[in-house]
Amino acid sequence: MDADAPIGLIAGRGALPIEVVEEARRRGRRVVCVDIFEADPALQRVADAYYAVRLGDLGGIIEAFRRHGVREVVLAGKVDKLPALRRVRLDAHGEAVARRTPDYRDTSIVGAFLAVLETSGFEVGHQARYLGHLVPGPGVLSPRAPSEAEAADIQAGLRFASRIAALDIGQAVAVRNGTVVAVEAAEGTDEMIRRAGALSAGVVVVKVSRPQQDPRYDLPVVGPATITALGEARGTALAVEAGRTLVLERDRVVAAAADADLALVAVAAAARDADV
């Protein structure tokens, strides 16, 4: 990997792309950003070069990176899968991705996309390479630790969520008294939390990684919006996997959890099959 060459960033929605740019710049690296949604003025300001390329124009992405001598590519940001699939228009490279994709599962779509990038001469880097500062170690992150009842629901949620994630359905569940209230699917974690809140107060939410999580993309993410959704849903606790989850704006997340009297904990992956 050429340390003098700029990093190529494929940016989805949210704050993660900004985090990548800022960390790369702290390390003295230049960043060429390709935004696959509408132009983001914040990204335009911080990136060394910026391109707005529509989703599906993979040739445009490759061309932008080659123009600047990019060798290493990082993916960051949320892609709303269902709206994206409805409006995407594929170029020739995108058609190659579609031919490689046996179904519309996230892992299938992104895996085929990454394969085309790699055959085009790019190294796709692990997200944690530039986002490791957002990954918490094991422990209680909020002022309040989980109660005994919440800890039991966390343990149950870890088992349930792990099975759901293994089926590539979603990565989070909402649990109340050992019973699954809601399961995340294509709508995302925050919307699942709102749905759970409409069904039951006092839910505990657990979010995990997939058993064979590809570290190049789609590490589980929680942030201030997740805490807001949980508070509005009258939930009481949130558990994530330590070492495998990105926590955006951690100071804001912890402060919001304290204000809402929520317990927030990062659980070691081994705790899926052990007591919390």
Domain ends where: 73, 96, 131?
131
Tokens 């039951």 belong to residue: 200
Whole-number pLDDT of residue 103: 64
Same domain flag for 124 and 239:
no
220 inside domain: yes
Domain ends where: 98, 131, 164?
131
Residue 212's CB: how many other CB atoms inside 10 A? 9
Q: What is the CATH number of the domain that holds 253?
A: 3.40.140.80
Mean pLDDT within 259-272: 87
Same domain flag for 196 and 86:
no
Give 217's pLDDT tier (boundaries 50, 70, 90).
confident
Same domain flag for 105 and 204:
no
Mean pLDDT within 236-261: 96
Whole-number pLDDT of residue 93: 61
Task: Report the range of poorest mean pLDDT among 3-7, 102-106, 166-170.
Answer: 102-106
Give 270's pLDDT tier (boundaries 50, 70, 90).
low
1 inside domain: no
Whole-number pLDDT of residue 260: 96
Does the pLDDT at position 215 exceed 90? no
Same domain flag for 122 and 163:
no
Domain range for 16 is 7-131
- Grouping H, G, I as helix, E, B as strand and the rest as coil, residue 241 is strand
The runs of H, that is alpha helices, within the chain are: 16-26, 41-46, 58-67, 81-87, 92-100, 106-119, 128-131, 148-166, 189-199, 224-232, 250-259
Top-ranked range on mean pLDDT: pick from 9-23, 43-57, 97-111, 230-244: 230-244
154 inside domain: yes
Same domain flag for 33 and 55:
yes
Domain ends where: 131, 156, 188?
131
Same domain flag for 177 and 84:
no
| pLDDT tens readout for residues 199-208 | 999 999 999 9
Mean pLDDT within 122-145: 94
Give 32's pLDDT tier (boundaries 50, 70, 90).
very high
Number of domains making up the chain: 2
Same domain flag for 232 and 209:
yes
| pLDDT tens readout for residues 74-124 | 999 887 654 444 455 665 666 666 666 666 666 666 777 788 889 889 999
89 inside domain: yes
Mean pLDDT within 166-180: 94
Residues 6+ apart with CB under 8 A from 122: 8, 62, 65, 70, 71, 72, 73
To the nearest 10°, report the CA torsion of 74, 79, 84, 88. -10
Whole-number pLDDT of residue 86: 46
2 inside domain: no
Mean pLDDT within 138-149: 97
Which among 235, 167, 154, 224 has a CA at the least distance from the CA of 199? Answer: 235
Same domain flag for 141 and 70:
no
Same domain flag for 56 and 21:
yes
Whole-number pLDDT of residue 30: 96
Same domain flag for 111 and 195:
no
